């Protein structure tokens, strides 16, 4: 059932994110969505009031990734030219613009409530940015204190880009079940998923894949990865080891995998189909 619909004329919505629910408020559902558009604007919509509450313009090129900070007090957005902006939905002001990935589109932005002090830096949360040139930056931030410090910088090697080849996206995510680790997939020397330790500053595990992945999600409830591929394939991969389970059902490249916060459902999308999977073993 379609509950509510927001339309912006003459602009395409490139990315969106739900505002996280308040910490400690059980059963409270988020009622705000932030969306990034092809003209470089950000819009915040209230689902309960069915209206746009805020419009900001922190970018000069199309947005390619967007997320809220873990407390919902900041919006992080990435654009086609590789810039990352940090904006306040309370004031509508952009307080930081980071150019470390400049020149390569941002593919992923993710925030987590990791134990930042374990890494010897100050901050209220960790967040990462991934760009299509196979680089990942990891940051520690305390937005109330206006602090944002680079914790680690990862560059993953790859063969020379073949002419005319549509390369798979560079994707990274913090590992929910392995503290201080992140997972990376993308075009590289091998078709694999890499587990990288922020403490040891090295790759600690490699998981072979049947092809380069086009989408990635890590379960918040179990050591399980969901990966999508161009061959219309969805794979559930137990970690650190175990037999993968492969599923068909898509009509095209599986370009999105997303576990529900409970870990009991998985949403996947291809060109013209959105599928919801129930994970009975979780």
Q: What is the pLDDT of residues 2-18, one digit of tens each?
A: 889 999 999 999 999 99
**Contact call for residues 115 and 125 (beta carbons, < 8 A):** no
- 202, with CB counted inside 10 A (0-12, 13-18, 19+), is exposed
- Phi, psi (degrees; rounded to nearest 5) at 143: -65, -35
Report residue 282's pLDDT band, with 50, 70 and 90 as the boundaries: very low
| Per-residue pLDDT tens over the stretch 149-177 | 899 999 999 888 666 678 899 999 999 99
Residue range 158-281 in CATH 2.40.480.10: no
Give the CA angle between residues 161, 175, 228 to the nearest 5°: 50
User: Would you state the pLDDT for residue 26?
Assistant: 58
Sorted by where each begins, the domain ranges of the chain are 158-281
Of 15-29, 143-157, 221-235, give the range with the top mean pLDDT.
Answer: 221-235
């Amino acid at each position: 059932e379609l509950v509510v619909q927001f339309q912006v004329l003459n602009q395409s919505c490139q990315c969106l994110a739900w505002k996280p629910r308040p910490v400690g408020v059980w059963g409270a559902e988020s009622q705000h969505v932030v969306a990034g558009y092809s003209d470089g604007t950000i819009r915040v919509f209230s689902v309960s009031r069915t209206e746009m509450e805020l419009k900001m313009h922190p970018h000069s090129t199309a947005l390619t990734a967007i997320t809220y900070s873990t407390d919902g007090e900041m919006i992080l957005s990435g654009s086609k030219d590789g810039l990352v902006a940090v904006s306040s939905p309370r004031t509508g002001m952009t307080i930081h613009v980071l150019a470390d990935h400049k020149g390569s589109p941002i593919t992923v932005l993710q925030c987590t409530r990791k134990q930042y002090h374990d890494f010897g830096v100050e901050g209220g949360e960790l967040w990462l940015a991934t760009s299509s040139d196979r680089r990942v930056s990891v940051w520690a931030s305390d937005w109330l204190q206006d602090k944002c410090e680079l914790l680690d910088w990862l560059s993953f090697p790859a063969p020379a880009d073949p002419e005319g080849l549509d390369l798979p996206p560079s994707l990274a995510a913090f590992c929910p079940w392995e503290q201080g680790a992140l997972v990376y997939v993308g075009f590289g020397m091998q078709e694999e998923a890499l587990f990288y330790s922020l403490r040891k500053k090295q790759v600690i595990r490699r998981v072979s894949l049947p092809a380069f992945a086009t989408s990635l999600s890590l379960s918040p409830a179990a050591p399980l990865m969901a990966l999508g591929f161009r061959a219309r394939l969805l794979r559930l991969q137990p970690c650190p080891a175990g037999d993968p389970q492969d599923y068909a059902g898509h009509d095209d490249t599986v370009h999105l995998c997303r576990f529900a916060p409970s870990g009991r459902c998985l949403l996947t999308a291809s060109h013209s189909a959105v599928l919801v999977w129930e994970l009975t073993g979780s």
